[in-house]
Amino acid sequence: MDVNSYMSKDLVTIEAGTKILDALDLMKKHNIHRLPVVEGDRMIGLVTEGIISRNTPSTMTSLDMREVTYLLNRTSANDIMEKNVITINKEALLEEAAVNMRKNAIGVLPVVEGDNKLVGIITEKDIMDAFVDVLGFYTPGVRLVINVPEDRKGVLEEITDFFAEAEISIQQIAVYRKDHIQIVIQVDSDDVTGIQKNLEAQGYNVESIMYKDNQ
């Protein structure tokens, strides 16, 4: 899956000359925490709640609220925006976006193409949504967790052949490699007893079987 499949395309943006108070109003109105700064359709920076907070006089100063508001009214996005923004191409893999977020300790990546043209934005929530979709959480069916005793060529084909021979359709499949190998398969059949017996006869351990109703 690529970034384009899960990024948000309905963007709220501001220009370099947008006043910070107006930017805050936009964030509140749309319940968002950051605003890409654009010039035409090109991204030139990013303003976040954190950046605004760091550039707002502390309550420990001698300034009263009227003076703070006055300063914010004179401050534009161009004065405080992050200009070296980490972005990602819309054709990049979702896992690349996840790695970039984790590596840089950020929760959002503006999505660009060509000459920094802003086409979307992807967040940690979007990536979690993709993870849920891949595992078929909202799809009713039966999920089997199968432990594989050894990693060898043809294991996945061998396991899926059991389902094909039983004429059971596989809805989702995922492979986990950590301390050992687990294959998680979700199917649209209510009866997997025969499959379980065949798998265990071939040395596979069916760790769990979960019957899922539509969530």
**pLDDT 10s digits, 152-168:** 888 899 999 989 988 89
- φ, ψ (nearest 5 deg) of residue 108: -155, 145
The CATH class for the domain spanning 135-212 reads alpha beta
| Predicted TM-score of the model (pTM) | 0.74
Is residue 142 a contact partner of residue 211, using CB atoms and an 8 Å limit?
yes
Q: Are 39 and 18 in contact (CB under 8 A)?
A: no
d(CA 161, CA 182): 17
pLDDT tens for residues 8-58?
999 999 999 999 989 999 999 999 999 999 999 999 999 999 998 888 765
Averaged pLDDT for residues 53-79: 71
CATH class of 3-131: alpha beta
Q: What pLDDT does residue 79 have?
A: 93
Q: Where do the domains of the chain lie?
A: 3-131, 135-212
Q: What would the pLDDT profile of 184-214 be if each residue is shown by its tens digit?
A: 999 988 888 888 998 999 899 999 998 887 5
Distance CA 129, CA 108 (A): 14
pLDDT at 59: 47
pLDDT tens, position by position, 118-156? 999 999 999 999 988 888 888 888 999 999 988 888 889
On the question of a common fold for 3-131 and 135-212, the answer reads no
* Mean pLDDT, residues 82-107: 94
